[in-house]
């Protein structure tokens, strides 16, 4: 038996989106640093930090916008698989 969908709490959605924003920021900084080590600096550090902040902000906004849709899609897919016996 699959659990029913719980209503999305705005506070928990905002926290989740902030965490995804942090992941996006750190992922960009890792790629930025790897490129700097392999090919030389592409941007000065301050500009790289500004771009990383922008990437993190976009990741957070995107995560907040699509979280409910992705959760609903995953729940519907799991229910269909359970009904079909593909479990």
Nearest Cα residue to 44 out of 55, 36, 56: 36
Identify whether the C-beta of residue 73 lies closer than 8 Å to the C-beta of residue 39: no
Per-domain residue ranges for the chain? Answer: 11-84
Confidence of residue 68 (pLDDT cuts 50, 70, 90): confident
As given in the structure block, the two tokens for residue 64 are: 């907040």
Nearest Cα residue to 65 out of 13, 27, 22: 13
Is the pTM higher than 0.85?
no
What's the pLDDT tens digit per position in 25-67? 999 999 999 999 999 998 998 999 999 999 999 999 999 999 8
* Percentage of the residues of the chain whose pLDDT score is greater than 70: 90
């Amino acid at each position: 038996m699959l659990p029913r969908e719980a209503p999305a709490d705005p506070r928990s959605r905002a926290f989740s989106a902030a965490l995804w924003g942090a992941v996006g920021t750190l992922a960009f900084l890792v790629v930025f640093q790897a490129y700097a080590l392999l090919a030389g600096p592409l941007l000065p550090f301050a500009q790289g930090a500004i771009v990383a902040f922008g990437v993190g902000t976009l990741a957070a906004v995107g995560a907040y916008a699509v979280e409910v849709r992705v959760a609903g899609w995953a729940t519907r897919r799991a229910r269909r698989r359970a009904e079909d016996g593909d479990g």
